[in-house]
Amino acid sequence: GDLRIAELGGDPEVAVLSGGPSGVIMEAMLADLSLDLHIFPMAGAVRIAFMVYEEETHLEYRFVPEGPLVSEAEIVPICNLIQTERAGYVVASGSLPRGAPVDTYARMAQLTAASGGRFVLDASGEPLAAAIAGGGIFLFKPSLSELEKLAGHSLDLPAATAFAGDLVRRGVVHHVALTLGAEGALLVGPDETFRMPAIEVPVRSAVGAGDSFVGAMVWALSKGESMHEAFRFGVAAGAAAVMSPGTELCCRADILSLYGQTCAASHEAPAAVLLARA
């Protein structure tokens, strides 16, 4: 997500755990991007995940190793950074490393709120459940399968909308941005539900679509855009990401072009995408 913010012209601070030869490679790659980096050492080596695209079937295979075991002491500096930096937005994305306390994201959400910031979460499983139980989440970005795991059962669109709305009404999250793949995306907030259809683009890879969605939303919000406009930027960035092959980043020009399409679509059929909640 941070890389997409930088691609759009933002200036994110990036906190990473790094160790081993693969960590050295990662640090060099990040340094080339001129990001504001906070690198914290860990004993284990950074895991290397890779993707294989089969040209004949157009199937995509992702290989994600288990990753290193970390100690709670290695997580503490990142939590301390949240307290000292007092960022406007703190984004936590992906799975926790093995050994990290299951309530790590919950603690980060509370620290962010206490520092006057807004916590954005894109996660799943037990760390997500712990964070939801703790509350204090400004924006939660699940896929449908991640929301189903949180609910404990399958969800059709009306049920998913109701479940997301319940999270908002209970006050544990302020907004839910639910990504639905080819069905588009759904934004659930305190007063209304806003749905955007998917943008038709040539699909080359789904890698990074969720990260791009979150990064573009946070970038737009940090620039003072409304939640609706930020959501449109998220939909546009997610579509731009699937146009890029492999692990390549989506580009700013594609995001801005597709954002224009989302605005045109909503102006053509507003009743189909905006539903006020009673």
* Residues belonging to the active site: 211
- Measured CA to CA, the distance from residue 187 to residue 165 in angstroms comes to 10
CB neighbour list of residue 32: distance below 8 Å, 6 or more residues apart: none
Helix axes of 157-169 and 144-151: crossing angle, nearest 10 degrees = 70
- Measured CA to CA, the distance from residue 132 to residue 110 in angstroms comes to 11
Write 253-257 long-range contacts (CB < 8 A, 24+).
Answer: 255/7, 255/8, 255/216
Across-strand partners of 178? 186
Helix axes of 227-243 and 209-222: crossing angle, nearest 10 degrees = 150
